[in-house]
């Protein structure tokens, strides 16, 4: 069994799919963490404008429809940083962290499930194989008995009832053998699917069932439920929903940010490398929502409903455990 379980844990496509989800969760957590740090971007701009001096009252008396073209080149580095004064971004980071921990617990739970299903499928296949041997022996025994009863019936030493009962017993034994054969065939394909093999029905059963060395002791403390990965995953999702509800509640608070840039700007492209054409600016901004409070309240209701759902899911996981 250990070799089959290792093969299932290595090749089962369900596990591969969940492993990818854990990678996605880790990437989302990294993205959330980066939002709390200053963002740097390089930028190159080029603008070209045409001016008609004849349409400008200040130049109309000096020019009749004269035009000129202006070029502007700029190369700079832009800094954007939202100051997380109220902990809004931290709440989102904590929620993503809880989601990632939940995905890790989901992976562990799936591994345990696949291992258990593989062991169960192998035991079912081996049981069906052993039952086939027993059913085959039973059929052979009833066939021998039927031959004896038929000979005795011809000699008048057995009644017709004895003959019919023996025939019925043989037919029942043959039906049991056919049913066990179907279960063995289904068991082989079930095991092969868990092992990510093509279900050709060629999986080999064991020669005997394993023996349990000890029984599960009674009086196991309920604290052992904390070891179950499905409960840990539900608990982490509950924490994530709580963090997102807190973040939604901070939507009415102002957002404080800093925006700065430094670089060079000139009308000639070749001057961008000259330090004498350097430029910079620093801007602080504060944003306070005014006319979108309905959207913020709706967002809060959604996050509150999701937290209520997470509480119900967590309770269901505890009850099932």
Spatial strand order of the sheet with 278-287 comes to 39-52, 67-83, 255-266, 278-287
What is the reported pTM? 0.77
Average pLDDT over residues 218-245: 87
**Mean predicted confidence (pLDDT) in 164-193:** 92
Asked whether the CA dihedral 121, 124, 130, 133 is positive or negative, the reply is negative
pLDDT value at 128 more than 70 = yes
Residue 265, Cβ density class (10 Å: 0-12 exposed, 13-18 middle, ≥19 buried) = middle
**pLDDT score at 81:** 87
The Cα 236–Cα 101 span in angstroms is 7
pLDDT for 209 beyond 60: yes
In the DSSP assignment, the letter for residue 210 is: P
Bridge partners for 39 per DSSP: 80
- pLDDT, residue 55, reads 56
DSSP state of 252: G
The per-residue pLDDT for 43 is: 84
Q: Look at residue 56 in the predicted model and tell me its pLDDT.
A: 57
Q: What are 103-107's contacts with CB under 8 Å, separation 24+? A: 103/18, 103/21, 103/22, 103/24, 103/25, 103/233, 104/22, 104/25, 105/229, 105/230, 105/232, 105/233, 105/236, 106/18, 106/21, 106/22, 106/229, 106/230, 106/233, 107/15, 107/18, 107/19, 107/21, 107/22
- The structure tokens 């034994």 sit at 173
pLDDT, position 270: 75
| Rg value, the chain, Cα | 38
pLDDT-wise least confident of 116-120, 180-184, 196-200, 262-266: 262-266
First to last CA, the chain: 26
Cα 273 to Cα 284: distance, rounded to the nearest angstrom: 28
Model confidence band, residue 313 (pLDDT cutoffs 50, 70, 90): very high
| Tens-place pLDDT, residues 54-105 | 555 555 555 555 677 788 888 888 888 888 888 999 999 999 999 999 999 9
The residue with greater pLDDT, 243 or 49, is 243
DSSP code of 207?
A: S
Question: Is 150 exposed, middle or buried (CB count within 10 Å of its CB: 0-12, 13-18, 19+)?
Answer: middle
Q: Phi first, then psi: what are they for 241, rounded to 5°?
A: -65, -35
- Lowest-confidence pick of 33-42, 73-82, 169-178, 212-221: 212-221
Q: 186: exposed, middle or buried (C-beta count within 10 Å: 0-12, 13-18, 19+)?
A: middle
Distance in angstroms (rounded) separating the CA atoms of residues 190 and 240: 37
Instruction: Find the Cα–Cα–Cα–Cα dihedral 228, 232, 238, 244, rounded to 10°.
Output: -160
In the chain, what percentage of residues exceed pLDDT 90? Answer: 48
Are the C-beta atoms of 268 and 285 separated by less than 8 Å? no
Residue 286: per-residue pLDDT: 82
**Which of these ranges, 182-191, 234-243, 256-265, has the smallest mean pLDDT?**
256-265
Flag the least confident range among 30-34, 42-46, 227-231: 42-46
Share of the chain above pLDDT 70, in %: 95
Strand partners, 286: 256
CB-count burial class (<10 Å; 0-12, 13-18, 19+) for 259: middle
For the segment 7-18, the average pLDDT, to the nearest whole number, is 92
pLDDT at 153: 83
Instruction: Please count the other Cβ atoms lying within 10 Å of the Cβ belonging to residue 169.
Output: 16
Per-chain mean pLDDT for the chain: 87
């Amino acid at each position: 069994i250990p070799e089959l379980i290792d093969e299932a844990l290595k090749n089962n496509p369900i596990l591969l799919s969940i492993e990818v989800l854990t990678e996605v969760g880790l990437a989302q957590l990294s993205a959330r963490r980066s939002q709390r740090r200053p963002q740097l971007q390089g930028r190159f701009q080029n603008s070209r404008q045409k001016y008609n001096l004849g349409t400008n009252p200040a130049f109309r008396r000096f020019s009749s429809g004269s035009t000129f073209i202006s070029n502007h080149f700029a190369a700079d580095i832009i800094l954007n940083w939202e100051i997380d004064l109220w902990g809004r971004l931290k709440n989102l980071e904590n929620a993503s962290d809880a989601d990632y921990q939940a995905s890790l617990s989901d992976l562990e739970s799936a591994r345990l499930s696949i291992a258990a299903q593989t062991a169960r499928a192998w035991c079912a296949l081996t049981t069906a194989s052993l039952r086939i041997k027993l059913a085959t022996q039973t059929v052979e025994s009833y066939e021998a008995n039927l031959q004896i009863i038929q000979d005795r019936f011809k000699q008048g030493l057995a009644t017709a009832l004895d003959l019919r009962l023996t025939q019925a017993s043989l037919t029942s034994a043959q039906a049991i053998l056919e049913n066990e054969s179907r279960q063995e065939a289904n068991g082989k394909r079930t095991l092969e699917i868990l092992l990510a093999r093509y279900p050709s029905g060629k999986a080999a059963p064991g020669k005997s069932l394993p023996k349990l060395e000890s029984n599960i002791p009674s009086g196991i403390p309920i604290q052992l439920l904390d070891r179950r990965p499905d409960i840990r995953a539900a608990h982490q999702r509950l924490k994530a929903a709580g963090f997102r509800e807190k973040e939604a509640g901070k939507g009415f608070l102002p957002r404080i940010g800093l925006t700065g840039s430094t670089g060079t700007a000139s009308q000639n492209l070749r001057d961008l490398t000259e330090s004498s054409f350097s430029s910079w600016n620093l801007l602080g901004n504060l944003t306070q929502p005014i006319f979108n409070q309905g959207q913020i309240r709706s967002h809060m209701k959604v996050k509150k409903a999701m937290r209520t759902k997470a509480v119900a899911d967590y309770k269901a996981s505890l009850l099932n455990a």
